[in-house]
Amino acid sequence: MELCLSPDKNIYTPLSWNISPKQTVFELTPNAKLFIPVTTILLAGLYFNLKTHIMYNYTFRFLDKKECFRTPFSPEDNTRYTYMLHNKTYLYRLSEQLIRSNQPEHALTVKRHLARLAPTSSLLCDIGILHLENGEIHVADSLFSKAHQMTPNHITPVYNRFLVTKQTNDTLHGLRLAKKILHMPVRKINNIVLRARHEAKEYIKAQS
């Protein structure tokens, strides 16, 4: 490097640096080049997970607030609902809360969407009960039949079909289902089993 005296200041300034055109002042090492995109991806993933956790926490806490369901709930206009369409636990809890809040139509919308994600025998029975309470007997009976095909050893679909026969006054079919309820083996005695057997006994006694 050559130095020359500046005319204005009594200092020496570089006349030329003699730097090669191919030489760079700063160059990243291969490890550093790899570190930057990896760090960016990790930070983006951390931000996404944190934001998702906050959203899930807020959304599930919303379900526990009964006052939030005093006004009609509209699934189409609710941003929390649209964000959680993939979460089966949220959809089920939301539908049950809507039923308790006397909003069966919206509960039916949510349960139908849940059935498209994970159709189960109990869920089809829940949907069928909502249709049955709405007077759509044939739709309800069809859903109960599908539920019975999925779980032929479960008493709930048979009991629900028995309820349909009581509404349609189909005595012959009702007696057959009532006898089936009484003779079905069950793994666990719960309230549904006790109620179904009690109503079946009363039905048979009334028809004899």
Per the CB < 8 A criterion, the answer to whether 194 and 165 are in contact is no
Q: What is the mean pLDDT of residues 16-28?
A: 51
What pLDDT does 46 receive?
74
CA distance 202 to 44: 63
Give the domain ranges of the chain. Answer: 137-208
> How far is C-alpha 156 from the geometric centre of its chain's CA atoms?
23
* Per-residue pLDDT reduced to its tens digit, 112-142: 999 999 999 999 999 999 999 999 999 999 9
> HSE (CB half, 13 Å, CA atoms) of 60?
10
What pLDDT does 151 receive?
94
What pLDDT does 5 receive?
45
What pLDDT does 101 receive?
84
What pLDDT does 7 receive?
54
Is residue 148's pLDDT more than 80? yes
What pLDDT does 194 receive?
95
What pLDDT does 78 receive?
60
Of 66, 70, 77, 129, nearest to 103 by C-alpha is 70
What pLDDT does 3 receive?
45
